[in-house]
Amino acid sequence: MASINESNNFIYFTLSLILIFVMGALAKEVEGEHLNFLLKPLILNSFIICLASMKFARGWYIYLVGVSVLMAIAILAHSFYDNTHLSVIMLVLILAFCVGVFQATAHQILLSDQVDNNKLIGSVALFLVMGLGWAAIYLLLIIYNPEAIKGIVAQDHWGEHFSVVTYFSFVTQTTLGYGDFSPNTPLAQVVVYLQGITGVFYMAVVVSSLVSARKR
C-alpha cells in the first residue's frame, strides 16, 4: 500500500470522508447497533488521517490535535455514559474540526499556482468537509428542537439519523432541493439559506481558481 504523502494526501482524506457517509447509510439500513457504533470511530479516523497527511501551520495543527483528542475522549465517555450532553459535545467538536480543516487547507487548494489530480480531489474533500460541518449544525438544531427539519424524525442517538441529515445537508449545499425535507423553524431556515449561499459561492471560487491556474 502506497504511503500517504503530498501527492496523494487529499485522496486518502476524501476516501475516509466517503467511508463515513457510506457507513452512516449502512447503519440506517442494516439492523443492529454495531454499524452505528462504528460511525463515531470512523469520524475520528478521518481526523487522524487529516492530521497525519496534511501540512498545517503550527497554530492550526495544535488546534486540530486538541479537537481530535477531545473527540477521542468524548467517544470513549459516550460508550460508558449515554447522555445528550456528550452528543452535543461530539457534534460541536466535529463542527470545530471541519471549520479548522477548511480554514487551514483552503489556500493550499484554491490559491495554488499548480493544479494536479490531488488538488482537484482536494477541492472535493473541502466540499465534503463543508457538508459534514453543516450536517453537524443540523444535528445540533434537531437536538435543540426535534421539529427543526420537516420530515426528519429525531432519534435517541444522532448517529441513527446521521445519514438522513447528511443527505439533507448536501442537497441544500448543491441547491438540488428535492423537497422531501424542509426547514421547519426560522432558525433552521436561516441555516439552510446560509449553506445554500456558501455552496454556490464555493463552486464559483473553485471554478475561478482552476481557470486562473491554467492561465499562469
Residues 192 and 213 sit within 8 Å (Cβ to Cβ): no
Which amino acid, residue 97? F
The residues with which 150 forms a beta bridge, in sequence order, are 182
State the cell numbers at 207: 471554478
| pTM for the model | 0.90
| pLDDT tens per residue across all 216 residues of the chain | 456 666 677 888 899 999 999 988 887 777 656 666 788 888 999 999 888 877 788 898 999 999 999 999 999 998 888 778 888 999 999 999 999 999 888 877 777 667 777 778 888 999 999 999 999 999 999 999 999 999 888 777 788 889 999 999 999 999 888 888 999 999 999 999 999 999 999 988 888 877 676 555
Distance CA 13, CA 53 (A): 8
| C-alpha dihedral sign at 106, 137, 93, 46 | negative
- Report the Cα 60 to chain-centroid distance in Å: 17
Q: What is the DSSP string of 114-164?
A: S--HHHHHHHHHHHHHHHHHHHHHHHHHHHH-TTSEET----SSGGGGHHH
